[in-house]
Amino acid sequence: MTTFLKIRDLWKSFGQFVALRDISLDVIEGEFLCFLGPSGCGKTTLLRAIAGLDIQTAGTIHQAGKDVSNLPPAERDFGIVFQSYALFPNLTISENISFGLENAGKNKAEVKKRVDELLQLIGLPEQRDKYPAQLSGGQQQRIALARAIATSPGLLLLDEPLSALDAKVRVHLRHEMTELQRKLKVTTVMVTHDQEEALSMADRIVVMNHGVIEQVGTPTEIYTDPVSLFVADFIGEMNQVPAEVTKEGEVRVGNRTLLCRTGDFAPGSKVIAALRPEDVIPHDKDVRLPGTPDVIETLQNTFDVVIKEMEFLGSFWRTSVSDEEAEGLDLTADFSINAVRRLSLAVGEKITVELPADRLKAFSETSGAEQ
Amino acid sequence: MSSVESIPGPKIRKKVGTDALIQRGFIVVIALYLIITLAFPLYAMLSKAFEVYNYDLSQFSVQASDEEGNFTTGPVTLLDLNAELGLLGDSDMAAKGDGRLSLTQFFPDFSFRSPVMYRVAGTDEKSVFLVGSERHVGTESVEVDSNTFRKVVVRPVKSRGMSNFTRYFSTPALFRSIGNSVFIATVSTIITVTLAFWFAYALSRSCMKYKGFFRLVAMAPILVPSLLPGIALVYLFGNQGILKGLLMGQSIYGPIGIVIGSVFFTFPHAMLIIGTALSISDARLYEAAVSLRASRWRTFWTVTIPGARYGLISAAFVVFNLVITDFGLPKVIGGQFNVLAVDIYKQVIGQQNFEMGAVVSVVLLLPALLAFAIDRQVQKKQVAGLTARSVVFEPKPDRKADTGWLFYCSLVAVFILGIIGICQMAALIKFWPYDMSLSLNNYAFDRMDGGGWAAYKNSIKLGLLTAFVGTVVVFLGAYMVEKTSDFTKGRSGFQMLAMMPMAIPGMVLGLAYIFFFNNPANPLNFIYGTMAILVVSTVTHFYTVSHLTAVTALKQMDTEFESVASSLKQPFYKLFARVTVPVCMPAILNISIYLFVNAMTTVSAVVFLYSTDTALASIAVLNMDDAGDIAPAAAMGMMIFYTNAAARLLHAVGSRAILKRSEAWRQR
C-alpha cells in the first residue's frame, strides 16, 4: 500500500473563520476515500484544496511524491465531477467528453477512439450526438464522470456527485460508480453528507466536523466502533444515556448497573453510555417461565421494559421502550418484523431486553469534536 | 466558531498559472480603459471646478519716464500703483483662464503717441508678462515705448478655491436652474411612473387584446433622440401649432413642454422596470387573498403594490435621473426656462466659461449620484425578495375591465404614436402651415447646416463601432469580474468603476472629456476631434447597463465550468470561445443593439466632442432646430427612428435564428 496523496498540517481560513484546522491525512493509491460530515464541516474546502481550486492557507499536499501545495489546478493531475456536473450545455455528449482530449497531443482518430471507449464504459454509446439537456440526471452524471476520467488522471475528485439525483437512481449509480472505480483502480476522493452513500461506496471514510478530522477508518470500523459521540450520532442512530463509571467495565444508569466498554474512563467519571437501536435484543417472556429456570441469570444487562410507542418503518419497527425501575433509562430499539411477530410485541406490553455488553460503550459527555 | 488564531507554519503562496496571468492582464487593461475614459476625465473636471484665476498685481513693477525719456522716479509695483490711484477693485482681479490684463489701465493719462518710455519688470523669478506674443519671465526689466506698451499684458495666476462656487450661488440666473431642474424632474417622474404603472398593470394583469402591439408601441420612444418629442410639441402647441388653443394661453416653451416630452421619452424605461416587477408577482398570494375574501381594492394595496414596490421606487429614480440629466429636450422646448444640463452647454459653448461649466456639472452630478445610489440600494433588495418557488400569475378574462384597460392603453399609444406621427408629417410637409403639400425636400440635408447626410453616415458609423467595440470591452470586462477566481481586490475595484457611468450625466462626461483629452499635455490628445473619442465616450456613457446585462447572463452559467476546464488542462480562452460566448449569445446581441440604438440617439456627451468631420445625425437635429430648420430637424430625427427600428428588427430576426439553432441544447 503506497501513499498517493500526502496531506500535512493543512489550514484554511476565510478571513477570521477557520475552515480547516491542522488536517493531516494519507490517501492510499487506488482506494476510494469518502469525506463525510455535516454541511460546513470543511469537507468540500478540503477537496477544493486538493484540487488547487481554493488553495490552503498553510500546510502541504504531495501527490504521487510531487509537492503540489501551491500549484494552480491546471498544473495538477486530477479529474473532477461536481454536484451540478457542469456539463457544457452547447456541446454534444462526445464534445463534452473530448473537451480535455483536444490539443493534448492526440490526433482526431485517437480522440474519437477514446471517446467511444468511454461511452462504452459508461454504457451510453447511443447518446453521443445529444446535448446534456436531452439526457436524464443519471445519464448526465455519467457523462460528467466520463469527461473527468477521459484524460486518465491519477486522482478522481467527486464533489457530492449523487446528491442532485432522486433516491432510486442514486442507489443504482452508487453501485455503478464503485464498480467503475474498482475497474479503473483510480485513486478517488468523494465528498458527501450522506452517510449511507459513504458506508456503501468507500474503502475508507474520513469523518469531519468543524474543520477537523474526527475519525478515519473503514465503514465497519466507523459504524461499529466510533471514536466519539459525534461520529456515533452522525452515522446511524445512537441511544445516549447519562451514566457514571463505577469500575472498569461497569457503569451505573439510575439505579441499574450495566456492563459496558468503559475504555480509559476512571471510576467516578460522568459519561454517556451509548448503544445502537438495532443492538437492543428482545427476549421471549418465556425465558422467565418455570421449566426454563435461570436462563435470565446467564444473560448480562438484561431487564424488563415497557413498550411505549411503535413506529413501522418498512423493514423494521422503531420502538420506544422504558425501564420503569431504573429512572432515565428510556431507549429506542429497532426490532425486526420477524421478532415483533414472533414475540407478538405491542404497545403497552412488558418485554425483556438485553443490551449486549460489548456493544454498549462509554463516551465523554462533551461531543468529541473540539469546540 | 473559533475567533482569531494564528495559523502555524509558513503561509502558502499560490503559484500564478498562465491562465491567471492572462486574466490579470485583461482585468488591468479593461480597468485601465475605464480609468482613462472615466476616472481621469472626471478628476480633470472636478479640479477645473475648483480652479480660480486671479491677477496678482504684486508680481509686477512698472516705471514711467518723463516726456524726455528720463526715468526720474523709481519702479513701483502694480499693487501699490493701483492702491494709490484706486483704479481696480477686488472683483476686477477675478479672471477666466484665458483672461488678459493690459497695463495701460494703470496710467489714466496714457496715450500711445506720447514719447514717454516704460520699464516693466517682474518682482520675482516666476513672474510672467507678455509683450505682444513675446513671453518675459523673471525680474529682468524690459523697456518699451508707448506704442509697444499697449501690447504689454499680464496673465492671471491659477489657484484653487471655492470662489467659482460662491459666484455660482450668488448668481440667481444660474442657481435658479437647480430648482427648475428638480421641479421638472419630480413632476415628470410622478406622471411617468403613474402612467407606466397602469400600462404595465394592464399588460400583466388583464386579458386585454393587442398586448403585443402595445408592448411594441411603448418601446418606440427608445428609438428616437429625446429632442424629437420637443420638435413634435412645437408643431402641436408652438406659436403656429394646430392644438395651441388647448394650452389656454400657456406657452409650450418651458416647463409644460419639457414635462410632456420627458414623459414621452422616459415612458419605456419606467414601463420595462415596473413590468418586470409586476411579472414576478406570485400567483399564490392572489389565491390566498381570494380565499380570505379580500376585496379587489384591498388585494391591490396589500399584494400588488407591495410586490411591485421596489420596481416602482427603482423606476422613479431612473426616470428622475433621465429627466434631470437630459439636455436635448429642454434645449429644444425649454425656452427661457433654464435647467442645469442646458446651463452647462450655455456656459461652455455660449460663453466659453469652462470653469463655470465645470461648477454646474458638479451641481448636476449631486442629484444624479443620489438618485443612482438609492436606486442601487433598492435593486439589491428587489433581488433578495425573489423566491424560486413562485407561481406565475395568470389573469382571468373580465370583459368590462379588459375594455377599460384597452381604452387606457390606446390613449397612451395614441400619445406615443401621435408624437412620432407629427414628426413624420412635419418631415414630409413642404412648408407647414402655408404649403401643406407633401415632398421629400426636408430630407435634402446637404442643403442645410448641421452636417447633412454625412452626419447621418457618421451616426451609423458611430453606432456600429460603439456596438462592436463596446460589446467586446463590456463582455470581456464582465467575464473577468464574474468568472475569474483570484485577484479579488482588482476585481471589486473594477466592479465599482463599471457601475459609475450610470451616475454620470452625459453632459458632465462630455465636458470632462474636453478637459482631459483636449489638454495638449495629454499623450492621448490626438484622439480629440476624431470618431475615436465619440466611440469611447459613448461606450463609457452606456457602460453600466451593458455591464449589468452581461453580468446577469454570466451569473446564470454554472460556476464550475472554469474549474472543470482547468482540471482538464484547457486554457480559459478555449472555454470562453467554445462555451461562454455561444451560451451568452442572446445577451451579447442585446448589449450590441442597446449600444447601437443609444449611439444613434445620444446628444449629451457627444455635443461637446464632435468636430466638423464627425458631426452626427442627433447633433444635426439639434443644430438644425437651433437654426430654425425645424422640418429638416424632424426629418433627420425620423431617419434615426427608421434606422433604429430597422436595427431592432434585424436584431429580433437574428436572435430568433440563433435561438432556433440552439433550441436543442437550450431546452430545460
Binned at pLDDT 50, 70 and 90, residue A233 comes out as: confident
Q: Distances from the Cα of B22 to the Cαs of A73, B29, B571, B648, in angstroms?
A: 15, 11, 10, 36
Alpha carbons within 13 A on the beta-carbon side of A10: 31
- Whether A229 and A247 share a structural domain: no
Q: Predicted confidence band at B421 (pLDDT cuts at 50, 70, 90)?
A: very high
Q: Which chain A residue has the Cα nearest residue B584?
A: A90
The arithmetic mean of pLDDT across residues A128-140, rounded, is 91
Chain A hits for B15, CB-CB cut-off 8 Å, are: 70-72, 75
Could you tell me which residues come within 8 angstroms of residue A201 by beta carbon, excluding any fewer than 6 positions away?
A32, A34, A174, A177, A178, A190
pLDDT digits (tens, 9 = 90+) for B181-192: 999 999 999 999
pLDDT digits (tens, 9 = 90+) for B9-30: 778 888 888 888 888 888 888 8
pLDDT at A161 over 80: yes
User: Same structural domain for residues A351 and A317?
Assistant: yes
Q: Please tell me which of the candidates B17, B567, B665 has its beta carbon nearest to residue A131.
A: B665
A185 and A273 belong to one structural domain: no
Of A16, A82, A88, the CB nearest to B579: A88
pTM score: 0.85
Q: Is B487 on the interface with A (CB under 8 A)?
A: no
- Interface probe with A: pick from B559, B567, B663, most Cβ of A within 10 Å: B567
On chain A, the residues whose CB falls within 8 A of the CB of B485 are: 53-54
Chain B residues in contact with A94 by the CB 8 A cut-off are none
Buried b (16+ CB within 10 A) or exposed e, B247-274: eeeebbbbbbbbbbbbbbbbbbbbbbbb
Which has the closest alpha carbon to A226: A356, A362, A46?
A362
Question: What's the CATH code of the domain at A294?
Answer: 2.40.50.100
Alpha carbons B96 and B634: distance in angstroms, whole number: 38
Please state the domain extents for chain B: 18-50+446-666, 54-163, 174-435
How many Å apart are CA B599 and CA B595, to the nearest integer?
A: 6
Contact B16 A72 (CB under 8 A): yes
CA–CA gap between residue B378 and residue B317 (Å, rounded): 10
Q: Is A224 touching B (CB cutoff 8 A)?
A: no
Q: Do A133 and B582 touch (CB under 8 A)?
A: no
Q: Please list, in sequence order, all residues whose beta carbon lies within 8 angstroms of the beta carbon of residue B580, skipping any fewer than 6 positions away.
A: B479, B483, B554, B557, B561
Q: Which of A233, A263, A297 is the last residue of a domain?
A: A233
DSSP-derived 3-state class of residue A62: strand
Question: A177 and A309 share a domain?
Answer: no
CB A33 within 8 A of CB A156: no
Task: State the pLDDT at residue A368.
Answer: 45
Residues spanned by the domain of A355: 239-364
Same domain as A286, residue A154: no
Give contacts of B565 with chain A, Cβ < 8 Å: 99
For residue B621, give the 3-state DSSP assignment: helix
For the beta carbon of residue A149, count every other beta carbon within 10 angstroms: 22
What are the φ/ψ torsions at residue B453 (nearest 5 degrees)? Answer: -65, -25
Q: Which of A51, A89, A103 sits opposite B583 (nearest CB)?
A: A89
**Best interface-test mutation with A: which of B568, B569, B575, B584 has the largest number of A CBs within 10 A?**
B568
Residues of B in contact with A42 (CB under 8 A): none
Q: DSSP class of residue B388? A: T
Q: What is the mean pLDDT of residues A248-257?
A: 87
Considering the domain architecture, whether residues A170 and A67 belong to the same structural domain is answered as: yes
Same domain, A56 and A201: yes
Residues A188 and A138 in one domain: yes
Question: Based on the structure, what is the number of domains in chain A?
Answer: 2
DSSP B264: H
Dihedral, CA of residue B457, residue B458, residue B464 and residue B468, to nearest 10: 160
- Specify which residues B135 forms β-bridges with: B130
d(CA A53, CA B533): 41
Task: Tell the CATH topology of B174-435.
Answer: MetI-like fold (1.10.3720)
For the cut 80, the answer to whether the pLDDT of residue B365 exceeds it is yes
User: CA nearest B473: which of B371, B408, B520, B541?
Assistant: B541
Which alpha helices (H) appear in B521-584, and where do they start and end?
531-541, 543-555, 561-567, 572-575, 581-583
Determine contact: A154 vs chain B, CB below 8 A: no
User: DSSP character for B11?
Assistant: B
The pLDDT value recorded for residue B496 is 83
**CB–CB of B50/B354 below 8 Å?**
no
Residue A371 forms part of a structural domain: no
- The answer to whether the beta carbons of residues A305 and A321 sit under 8 Å apart is yes
Model pLDDT, residue B229: 94
Do B18-50+446-666 and B174-435 come out as alike in CATH topology? yes
Cell output for A252: 451505573
Q: Is residue A40 part of a domain?
A: yes
A8 shares contact with chain B (CB less than 8 Å): no
The percent of residues above 90 in pLDDT, for chain B, comes to 39
Task: Tell me how far apart the alpha carbons of residues B100 and B152 are, in angstroms, rounded to a whole number.
Answer: 10
Q: Do B667 and A134 touch (CB under 8 A)?
A: yes
Partners of residue A71 in chain B, C-beta under 8 Å: 15, 17
Question: Are A133 and B564 a contacting pair at CB < 8 A?
Answer: no
Integer angstrom CA distances of residue B501 from B181, B476, B509, B543: 21, 17, 9, 6
Question: Residues B242, B275: contact at Cβ < 8 Å?
Answer: no
Q: Are B203 and B275 in contact (CB under 8 A)?
A: yes
pLDDT digits (tens, 9 = 90+) for B161-219: 888 888 888 888 888 999 999 999 999 999 999 999 999 999 988 888 899 999 999 99
For residue B141, which amino acid is it?
A: S
Q: What pLDDT was estimated at residue B270? A: 94
* pLDDT at position B474 over 60: yes
Whether A134 is in a domain gets the answer yes
Whether A95 contacts A87, CB under 8 Å? no
Residue A56 forms contact with B (CB below 8 Å)? yes
The mean predicted confidence, pLDDT, of chain B is 87
pLDDT of residue B185: 95
**Does A182 lie in the same domain as A125?**
yes
**pLDDT value for B456:** 93
Same domain, A226 and A253: no
pLDDT value at residue B68: 81
A9 close to B (CB below 8 A):
yes
Residue B485 has pLDDT above 80, yes or no: no
Within 10 angstroms of residue A129's Cβ, the number of other Cβ atoms is: 11
- With residue B402 as reference, give the H or E element that holds it: helix B399-428
Specify whether A228 is located in the same domain as A91.
yes
Q: Residue B246 in contact with residue B174, Cβ under 8 Å?
A: no
The pLDDT of residue B205 is: 86
CA distance B428 to B425: 5
CB B514 within 8 A of CB B354: yes
Beta carbon pairs, A and B, within 8 Å? 127
Higher pLDDT, B132 or A321: A321
From the options 1.10.3470.10, 2.60.40.10, 1.10.3720.10, 3.30.1330.60, give the CATH code of B18-50+446-666. Answer: 1.10.3720.10
Q: How far apart are CA B510 and CA B42, in angstroms?
A: 10
The verdict on a CB contact (< 8 Å) between A151 and B568 is yes
Residue B663 at interface with chain A, using a CB cutoff of 8 Å? no
The CA angle A231-A235-A241, to the nearest 5 degrees, is 65
Instruction: Report CB contact under 8 Å: A86, B18.
Output: no
Distance, in Å, from the CA atom of A15 to the CA atom of A19, rounded to the nearest integer, reads 10
B667 has a pLDDT exceeding 70: no
Is residue B479 a contact partner of residue B580, using CB atoms and an 8 Å limit? yes
What is the per-residue pLDDT for B63?
A: 85
The CATH number that applies at residue A39 is 3.40.50.300
Residue B3: the pLDDT is 46
Q: What nine digits make up the cell of A11?
A: 489550514
**Looking at residue A303, what is its pLDDT?**
85
Contact A200, A168 (CB under 8 A): no
Asked which of A233, A259, A282 is the last residue of a domain, the reply is: A233
B597: closest CA of chain A, how far (Å): 30
CA A202 to chain centre: 8
| Residue A369 within a domain | no
> Which residues in chain A touch residue B667, judged by CB atoms under 8 angstroms apart?
133-134
Chain B residues in contact with A134 by the CB 8 A cut-off are 664-665, 667
Whether A188 and A291 share a structural domain:
no
| Closest alpha carbon within chain A to B4 | A16
Q: In chain A, whose CA is at the least distance from the CA of B562? A: A86
Closest residue in A to B14 (Cα) is A70
**Element holding B645 (H helix, E strand):** helix B630-661
Residue B554 dihedral angles phi and psi, to the nearest 5°: -70, -35
- CB pair distance less than 8 Å for B20 and A72: yes
Kindly provide the ipTM of the predicted complex, given to two decimals.
Answer: 0.83
> Residue A299 half-sphere exposure, CB side, CA atoms within 13 Å?
19
Compare CB distances from A70 to B13, B19, B558 and report the shortest one's residue: B13
Q: What is the pLDDT of residue B497?
A: 86
Q: Across the interface, which of A9, A11, A131 has its CB nearest the CB of B664?
A: A131
